[in-house]
């Protein structure tokens, strides 16, 4: 894949990231906690995918993205706090999407949206630094 194509795909991931974040906020207002948590996670997932792609790595799976992010943290490209935030979102998303009984609430959603915003911002800074 050429540099131009990588940049275009990375931009598309970031656009999806912002769309998912917007959706998380919309369903939050409707008090659909599970859906909002899921969308917040996907916002972070797409942003991380974008940064991985620009750095020469990519994965289409959740596990792969999580693993590659962990490697980037070990390389010192991202802080461990960012990894913890991403893992927290992933765990909450699993509960929201796959558990019949979830106990997520407005505070959990507010936290998740903040975490997603932080991850998106950091990934955008990282991408900008490489381009």
The number of domains in the chain is 1
The CATH number of the domain holding residue 122 is 1.20.120.330
Six-digit token string for 3: 């540099």
Domain holding 76, by residue range, is 3-130
Q: Are 57 and 66 in contact (CB under 8 A)?
A: no
pLDDT tens track of the chain, all 131 residues? 788 888 899 999 999 999 999 999 999 999 999 999 999 999 999 999 999 999 988 888 999 999 999 999 999 999 999 999 999 999 999 999 998 887 888 899 999 999 999 999 999 999 988 87
Residue holding tokens 């909002």? 36
Its pTM stands at 0.94
Rounded CA separation 32/82 (Å): 25
């Amino acid at each position: 894949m050429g540099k131009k194509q990588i940049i275009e795909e990375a931009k598309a991931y970031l656009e999806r990231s912002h769309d998912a974040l917007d959706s998380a906020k919309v369903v939050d207002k409707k008090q659909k906690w599970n859906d909002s948590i899921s969308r917040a996670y996907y916002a972070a997932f797409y942003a991380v995918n974008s940064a991985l792609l620009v750095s020469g790595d990519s994965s289409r799976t959740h596990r792969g993205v999580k693993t590659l992010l962990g490697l980037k943290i070990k390389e010192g490209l991202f802080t461990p706090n960012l990894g913890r935030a991403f893992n927290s979102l992933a765990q909450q998303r699993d509960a929201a999407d796959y558990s019949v009984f979830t106990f997520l609430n407005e505070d959990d959603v507010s936290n998740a949206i903040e975490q997603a915003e932080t991850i998106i911002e950091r990934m955008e800074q990282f991408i900008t630094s490489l381009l």
